[in-house]
Amino acid sequence: MDAECLDAGINMDQQQPDKNTDVKTSDVYRVNENLPKRFNNPECFKGYSKKMVHPLYQTTNQIYGSKKPTVHEMPTTFHGSQRKFSDHILKRGMFRDNGFNTSLEQSRITGPNTVNTFHDRICFHHLYRTGGNDQAEINMI
């Protein structure tokens, strides 16, 4: 009886297709004629690691992302983007605003009535100064 099981196991192995053969999407599904090669041949996708992660710390995204795509997940049609919207930008370049900025920069720290001005390269903020009236020191500089 063990010999029959062994023979059946050998026959089962021979009937299954070889895993080394590349099955293309066009072999299984009807595909569009302008389908890129990367969608017709899912074996060309590289980068799926065989690194084992401890099951306790493995997330569902890691489980899903560790599997290589098969022919059943590949798209059968391809509709590439038409660059009509951005063609004029490619020809002429992006719009460049050469306007002069006249707004005053105000700080949330010092309040809305004070204006941040750059007087000193090392100690430019009046809150860094410790002596007397801070606003008077700024006006003197």
* Contact predicate 32/77, CB 8 Å: yes
pLDDT band of residue 86 (cuts 50, 70, 90) is confident
Q: What is the reported pLDDT for 3? A: 42
Region 68-86: what's the mean pLDDT? 83
Residues 18-52 have pLDDT tens digits of: 455 678 888 889 988 888 888 888 888 877 767 78
The domains of the chain are located at 22-77, 104-141
Q: What is the reported pLDDT for 8? A: 40
Largest CA distance in the chain: 105
Phi and psi angles of residue 15, each rounded to the nearest 5 degrees, phi first: -80, -25
CA gap 80, 90 in Å, rounded: 18
Residues 88-140 have pLDDT tens digits of: 777 877 777 777 777 766 667 766 666 555 555 566 555 555 555 555 555 55
Residue 10 has pLDDT above 50, yes or no: no
